[in-house]
Amino acid sequence: MPEVTSLQQVERPQLQGHHVQHSDAQHLLLIDGAVVPCTPGEYDLLMPLLKHAGEPVSFPRLLGTERNKTLTRSLRQGLTQQMSRLRGRLWAFGLDILCLNSYGYLLLSRSNEQGEEI
């Protein structure tokens, strides 16, 4: 693994109890000292969620598009697949990504979720 330089700490109340660091230059994410594998595209989607953990992040903000741009079916399907993969990787750290159907996504700590549905 290449030498890790300039790691930045992510500090949000929703991430309390976790040591989250990232390097934009290397598309590298560390949670509690463990590397979370991400493609560059997944990393770009995950960063707004981490930096705004506990707050809804809109589809346009996640995708870096204009607010009034139409979210096509294929774009939405690709986003859903990427979020599903990221959700699986974050689950082991007690973090979850929730879809807010017509708005965007929300990253939460599972220990802070309000009553899960079965």
> Could you tell me the residue ranges of all domains in the chain?
8-112
| Closest by Cα among 99, 115, 94, 105 to 14 | 94
In 65-104, which positions are buried (b, 16+ CB within 10 angstroms) versus exposed (e)? eeeeeeeeeeeeeebeebbeebbebbeebbbbbeeeeeeb
SS3 1: coil
Record: fold of 8-112: Arc Repressor Mutant, subunit A (1.10.10)
Residue-wise pLDDT tens digits, 29-64: 999 999 998 989 899 999 999 999 999 999 888 888
Q: For residue 69, is pLDDT > 50?
A: yes
pTM, 2 dp? 0.81
